[in-house]
Amino acid sequence: MSDDVFKKLVSHCKEYGFVFPSSEIYDGLGAVYDYGQLGVELKNNIKKYWWDSMVLLHENVVGIDSAIFMHPTIWKASGHVDAFNDPLIDNKDSKKRYRADVLIEELMAKYDDKIEKEVEKARKKFGDSFDETVFKETNQRVLENVAKRNEIHNRFVKALNDSDLVELKAIIEDYEVVCPVSGTKNWTDVRQFNLMFSTEMGSTADGALKIYLRPETAQGIFVNYLNVQKTGRMKIPFGIAQIGKAFRNEIVARQFIFRMREFEQMEMQFFIRPGSEMEWFEKWKNIRIKWHKALGFPERKYRFHDHDKLAHYANAATDIEFEMPFGFKEVEGIHSRTDFDLSQHEKFCGKKLQYFDPELNQSYTPYVIETSIGVDRMFLSMIAASYCEEEVGSDDKKDTRVVLKLPAVLAPIKLAVLPLVKKDGMPEKAREIINNLKFEFNCQYDEKDSIGKRYRRQDAIGTPFCVTIDHTTLEDNTVTIRYRDTMMQERINISDLQSIIGEQVSMKNLFRKIME
Ligand code: GAP
């Protein structure tokens, strides 16, 4: 998808009440966004899909809702005060600031693109007889680009693991990375920058406490793990799920709601016996990818990306990436966090956080597998994958419709009820239908403009079903139901609406796929 299409997505989100720039009447606030009347419905549906898939499908997973403000020592213990940094570099001419690691990743992506272009060119040239593996192993240009890419990759991984900021700058200089704004290579040194926002609690007179806005919801789970285990009589293995806001002072905050300074996470920490982490890591990888794929988008839009550099707390980590308009990007992280967090909290709070395992007759600090997904990234991936512009109509009257082919379970409005005309008792009949269905489905009434225009409006917001009331309805209680994706229409009894729509918008079918 091109930049143009991405721009269209952003303006579509604004035009139809999905996402607005925050504080817009004051010219906005960098990388902060508000969700509008339809955006909040889509977001809530995403959260419900995640929450129910965790706590309904797994009897050993329960939820909590912990405070955003937490004792500041938590962030010392978790390593965020000392190590939650991004390596920054400034271009002296444009005065623009970049993440050094992002510049290097983009550099590697350029080599990937070059390789891909060579392969595509050869595929076109050789047609059916093309053998990609042989081509990649023998083509000189591909081999050179692969070698360069690997060289950068190896230096990059080593520099990250050694926290070697001088080497990060050296890579940028050696490969002549230029600032996209000034076009120059006039770089500062690379420095570390802590991403946590801080504020003060209490008045300064009595010695205010410096506290942080949480950069992840996970720590709220760790510090409550024993409360939940004891009060819920939970036995290992068990999980604790939480949805909530997180805050990061991101340097490179671009790409709309992909990277924001205030965002929302859906995280689940799964507490397990030490030594069983690889088995559970694989199990959760499998469950989580099924959760994504159950939504029905093509499989090729998803891939796993194993981390080159493990976070300070992890002994295995992978991302689930989705093909966004700007390439494959992380939507969810799955991490084997070992006993790092609980052990650190034991050290810093001076209390035992161990679990007594009755089967083993011994106490231990549990290991943890974490699944962590950003609500906003999930939202963006759904909008991007659903947005279509389609040519419709016949030769003499061609038209383009913009349609959001959202999975019906996530659509903000499930059903639009449209009286053909604003008279003859049709509006009243439409209201009667809504009154019967509104307890179950989010319904919208619309009587303005021609029926064609009303269909287009519903297509643009992703409403899977439109129901039209006409003169025949008043005679025999039948309506026309129109399906968003196929635009097919059929006549059905009003009494069948509930079951037809209910079957399509129920999360049950998706949950079955996850549990298969
Ligand atoms: N507790 C682990 C953790 O926070 P992470 O990979 O830093 O791990 C998890 O974040 C998820 O949160 C990411 O996969 C992404 O979906 C989302 N996320 C992280 N930073 C974000 C940001 N600035 N804006 C939007 N979403 C973000």
Give per-10-residue mean pLDDT for the chain (516 aa).
82 98 95 97 98 97 98 96 92 93 93 92 90 91 94 93 92 96 96 94 78 97 98 97 97 86 98 97 97 97 88 88 93 97 97 96 97 98 96 83 97 98 96 97 97 97 98 97 97 97 95 92
Q: What pLDDT score was predicted for residue 204?
A: 65
HSE toward the beta carbon, residue 405, CA cutoff 13 A: 14
Q: Would you call 80 exposed, middle or buried from its count of C-beta atoms within 10 A (0-12, 13-18, 19+)?
A: buried
pLDDT at 2: 62
The verdict on the CB of residue 265 being under 6 Å from ligand 1 is yes
Contacts of 311-319 with CB under 8 Å at 24 or more apart are 311/335, 312/79, 312/83, 312/340, 313/78, 313/79, 313/337, 313/338, 313/340, 313/341, 314/338, 314/340, 315/277, 316/277, 316/278, 316/281, 318/285
Instruction: State the pLDDT at residue 449.
Output: 96
**Closest ligand 1 atom to 335 CA:** 2
User: Is 33 touching ligand 1 by the criterion CB < 6 Å?
Assistant: no
Residue position matching structure tokens 């009434």: 445
CA 358 / ligand 1 centre spacing (Å): 36
**All domains of the chain in start order, with CATH:** 1-77+195-389 (3.30.930.10), 85-193 (3.30.40.230), 413-515 (3.40.50.800)
Q: Where does 220-325 show beta strands of DSSP type E? A: 238-247, 262-272, 302-306, 316-324
**Does residue 321 have its Cβ closer than 6 Å to ligand 1?**
no
Residue to mutate, 99, 263, 310, ligand 1, most ligand atoms under 8 Å from C-beta: 263
pLDDT score, position 147: 95
Helices (H), 127-248: 132-138, 140-161, 165-174, 218-222, 225-231
Is 332 a pocket residue for ligand 1 (Cβ < 6 Å)? yes
How does pLDDT run across 140-175, given as a tens digit for each residue? 999 999 999 999 999 999 998 888 999 999 999 999
> Is the distance from the beta carbon of residue 480 to the nearest atom of ligand 1 less than 6 Å?
no
Measured distance CA(118)–CA(120) in Å, rounded? 5
